[in-house]
Chain A
Amino acid sequence: MDLGDIRNWVFIVIAVVMLAGSIVVVTTRNVVHAALMLVATLGGAAAIFILLGAEFVAATVVLVYIGAVVVLFLFGVMITRAPLGGQGALDHSRKWPAALTAIATFAVLAGSTVAFFGDAEIGSGDPVLTSEIGSSIFNRFVIPFEVVSFVLLAALIGGIVLARRDPEA
């Protein structure tokens, strides 16, 4: 690794923050702290996307995951159960299989990434223009895009059906 390149140092800092954050997410006994640490971890993910020149993806991560998913998370937790000072019931008796699964997933992903890309350089760091992303989604990948939107529409309708209470006839 080239220690003279500042990008490597930035990457190391981001990676340490993400790693520490994600460890706290699974070990803390306080649900709200876990959600807030998830924000730090997701922020790190967004920073790595910026490092790779994918500005649009980074902003999407911030908007969707931090701005919507975690906020809804916190919102749900706060109106149901979020006592200050944490609680003991967060632990799970089957935590070791879960840890094993997580480590195995990481090993498979890391192994296959290294095996496939080796030390090839990925991305020059030049920002990708939003218009390029737009035209590739709506030209080359238009069918997968439509499929995904169909799935989301189905999920939306399912959510409404589950939540709504029909007036008794």
Chain B
Amino acid sequence: MFDFLVVGAQINFWVLLALKLGAIAILIQAAVLPIIFAELKLSAHMQSRIGPYFAGGRFGWAQPIADGLKFFQKEDLVPAAADKTVYKAAPYVALVGTVAVFVIIPFSPDLIVADLNLGIFYALAISSLSTLAVLMAGWSSGNKYSLIGGIRAAAQLIAYELPLVLAVIGVVIQAGTLSMVGIVEAQIDMGVPYLIGGQILGFGIFFIASLAELNRTPFDMPIAESELVMGYLTEYSGFRFAAFFLGEYAGIFTMSAIAATLFLGGYGFWGLDSTIFGPFVLAGKVGLLVFLMIWMRWTFPRFREDQLQSLAWRFLIPLSLGNIAVTAIFKVVL
């Protein structure tokens, strides 16, 4: 009866594709809602507040869901001065750039949508779409705060994409492959994750650059509420705002997952079978990095725009070039 689903011993390509897409759509919610909840609760406790408390009965666990449903009910406002098509398309471009990265995140040696030969390079390429979305949103809102926010965001994303890519190159040189599974396997073979095994500087640069790529404090000038209302998000409301919001938190997940895969050994952990425990090990490492990001957001003050640019161009980029040179020398010598 279900012959068309199964060709030979393999599941039909299109059915498998649909299954994988469905799995990602569910995974995004499963990953994003806990992160949003963690941000609400942790920020509250770090500031001696209680935070969400009533929704869902205990601990306010249903608060992110309630927020999400609230966004769906709101009116879809488009400013009169806006460029309608571009304004409406921007949230989806932002989502595409983040969601497409899920394709190459390895949860275990087999649990991966596609172990592309390009691996990490694909992720870096496709995530550059989010810069485009920010510019689209900022310009099309027809509002000076949005435009300034969009331009700040673009300048920041361009500046920090370089150290991000250059920090990854160190890992690629050490592992000798671009494939995400290959990089994890190389770390398992070596016995220690690259954070200890030679790429501690690379990890530092990658983490700082990823904070900037995600527009998170201390790099949140594009949406600095004390100066720009909400930057390029000012005019967005309802479902379109929710799409940006979802993209932002999904971005936190993907960036943490990539950092965990490249530097913390991904799904591998000493003494645990990665085919069974892989997803949980990765989730634990991602949780650690997400906690670090939230912690930084609620304890550090914001940079100034010129400080941000000089940190990237005069400090992080030379440092990451030095990291590449040292890694390459060690690779050749050892």
Contacts and interface: CB of A to CB of B under 8 A. Distances in A.
B118 A130 contact: yes
B150 A78 contact: yes
A118 interface: no
B238 interface: no
B309 interface: no
B71 interface: no
A86 to B, nearest CB: 9
A101 interface: no
B185 interface: no
B135 A63 contact: no
A36 B150 contact: no
A163 interface: no
A86 B55 CA distance: 47
A128 to B, nearest CB: 9
Contact of A59 (B122, B129, B136, B139): B122
Given A62-B128, A63-B124, A67-B129, A79 B151 contact: yes
Dominant SS at the B interface?
Answer: helix
Contacts of B151: 75, 78-79
A56 B154 contact: no
A33 B86 contact: yes
Contact of A32 (B86, B161, B178): B86
Contacts, number: 79
Given A36-B136, A68-B128, A129 B158 contact: no
A108 to B, nearest CB: 31
A116 B299 CA distance: 65
Nearest to A60: B125
A52 interface: no
A75 B158 contact: yes
B139 A74 contact: yes
Interface in A122-169: 127, 129-130
B158 A72 contact: yes
A96 to B, nearest CB: 29
A135 B161 CA distance: 26
A85 interface: yes
Interface string A51-86: 000011001101100111011101100110010110
A36 B154 contact: no
Interface in A24-63: 30, 32-33, 36, 39, 55-56, 59-60, 62-63
Interface residues of B, number: 31
Interface string B109-140: 00000001110011011101101100110111
A68 B165 CA distance: 13
B150 A63 contact: no
A130 B120 CA distance: 12
A16 to B, nearest CB: 19
Contacts of B118: 55-56, 59, 130
Contact of A82 (B117, B125, B139, B154): B139
B292 interface: no
Given A32-B139, A39-B132, A71 B83 contact: no
Considering residues A66, A70, A85, A130, which has the most beta carbons from chain B within 10 angstroms of its beta carbon?
A: A130
Contacts of B154: 71, 74-75
Contacts of A78: 135, 138-139, 147, 150-151
Nearest to B82: A84
Nearest to A86: B83
Contacts of B126: 59, 62
A17 B125 CA distance: 21
B213 to A, nearest CB: 12
Interface string B60-91: 00000000000000000000011100100000
Nearest to A75: B154
Q: Name the residue among B81, B126, B138 with the largest chain A CB count within 10 angstroms.
A: B126
B121 A71 contact: no
A129 B129 CA distance: 24
A61 B250 CA distance: 25
Interface of A: 30, 32-33, 36, 39, 55-56, 59-60, 62-63, 66-68, 70-72, 74-75, 78-79, 82, 84-85, 127, 129-130
12 contacts: A39-B132, A55-B118, A55-B122, A59-B122, A59-B126, A62-B128, A71-B132, A75-B155, A78-B138, A78-B147, A127-B117, A129-B117
